[in-house]
Amino acid sequence: MAGAGDFGVRDLEPGDHDPVQSLVAAAFAQADEAELVEAVRRSGDVLFELVAETAQGLAGHILFCRGRIETETSSGDRFRETAILGEMAVAPDQQNSGIGAALLHAGLTRLDDRAEAITFVVGHPDYYGRFGFTADAAKPFSCKWQGPAFMARIGEPQDWMSEGGFLHFPEPYDRFE
Ligand X SMILES: CC(C)(COP(=O)(O)OP(=O)(O)OC[C@H]1O[C@@H](n2cnc3c(N)ncnc32)[C@H](O)[C@@H]1OP(=O)(O)O)[C@@H](O)C(=O)NCCC(=O)NCCS
- Compare residues 126 and 177 and give the one whose CB is closer to ligand X: 126
Smallest gap, in angstroms, from Cβ of residue 107 to ligand X? Answer: 12
Smallest gap, in angstroms, from Cβ of residue 99 to ligand X? Answer: 4
Q: Which residues contact residue 88 at a Cβ distance below 8 angstroms, ignoring those fewer than 6 apart?
A: 60, 61, 62, 63, 100, 103, 104
Smallest gap, in angstroms, from Cβ of residue 61 to ligand X? Answer: 9
Taking the C-alpha atoms of residue 28 and residue 90, their distance in angstroms, rounded to an integer, is 9
Helix, strand and coil content of the chain, in percent to the nearest 5, comes to 35, 35, 30
Smallest gap, in angstroms, from Cβ of residue 161 to ligand X? Answer: 23
**The dihedral sign for the CA sequence 156, 157, 160, 161:** positive
* DSSP H helices in 8-67: 17-28, 32-43
- Compare residues 113 and 126 and give the one whose CB is closer to ligand X: 126
- Compare residues 104 and 118 and give the one whose CB is closer to ligand X: 104
State the residue number with the nearest CB to ligand X.
Answer: 100
Smallest gap, in angstroms, from Cβ of residue 175 to ligand X? Answer: 16
Smallest gap, in angstroms, from Cβ of residue 97 to ligand X? Answer: 5
- Compare residues 27 and 118 and give the one whose CB is closer to ligand X: 27
Residue 124: phi and psi, rounded to 5, are -75, 115
* E strand or H helix that includes residue 161: none
- Compare residues 88 and 143 and give the one whose CB is closer to ligand X: 88
User: For binding to ligand X (CB under 6 A), which residues are involved?
Assistant: 27-28, 88-90, 95-101, 123-124, 126-127
CA atoms within 13 A on the CB side of 57: 11
What SS3 state is found at 173?
Answer: helix
